[in-house]
Amino acid sequence: MKKALNILIVFVAAWCAGIVLTPIITSVYPTEEMATGIFYKFYGVVCHQFDSHSFHIDGHPFAVCIRCTAIYFGFLIALIGIRFSSKLHSKKYNPFLLLLCSLVPMVLDVVSSFTSFYEISTLSRLVTGAIFGIGLALLLHRSLTETISSLLPSKLYEIKTR
């Protein structure tokens, strides 16, 4: 099961790297707009990508907004914590309660901004996104690793000896 979790961590880390590398590549290779445009369109499927709601590197926005960045990196950090903590890995969570506790802060943050109760800040987007990402990782890691395990050959590297 740890092999499947390691594979999941690598995929999520690659996803997170793409978020940060897109503006770096755009900054370093400004003539390669077509290539980075593909990355922005790819990540645009999962995020609104409002420029004013994004972190920037050298004037170029991340591939996703601040909240989505926090969700994905929170998910990654939680997976790493699960990988190295047998207590987190083996703990059973109440899915409804976990989803409620991780989703409510983010929903309240968004709804509060519409009611003019307070202005959403970068910090509130970061914190509520990270809470949601961590909650999702705790909720989904077992299902995702089981799916990955089912896709792996039973004996990944069989060495024949004579």
- Residue 131 resides in a domain: yes
What is the reported pLDDT for 19?
96
Cα–Cα distance, 162 to 160 (Å, whole number): 7
Name the range with the highest mean pLDDT among 50-54, 70-74, 83-87. 70-74
Query: Is residue 160 in a domain?
Result: no
Confirm whether 162 is domain-assigned: no
- Asked if 118 and 112 touch (Cβ cutoff 8 Å), the reply is yes
pLDDT at 87 (0 to 100):
80
Tokens 């009611």 locate to: 115
Higher pLDDT, 91 or 138: 138
Q: Residue 16: inside a domain, yes or no?
A: yes
Instruction: Tell me how far apart the alpha carbons of residues 30 and 37 are, in angstroms, rounded to a whole number.
Output: 11
Between 39 and 104, the higher pLDDT residue: 104
pLDDT of residue 30: 72
> Does residue 154 surpass a pLDDT of 70?
no
Residue 161, domain member (yes or no): no
Task: Summarize pLDDT for 66-78 with one digit per residue, the tens.
Answer: 999 999 999 999 9
Which residues form the domain of 92? 2-151
Q: Do residues 69 and 19 lie in contact, with contact meaning Cβ atoms separated by under 8 Å?
A: yes
Domains: count for the chain: 1
**Residue positions counted in the chain:** 162
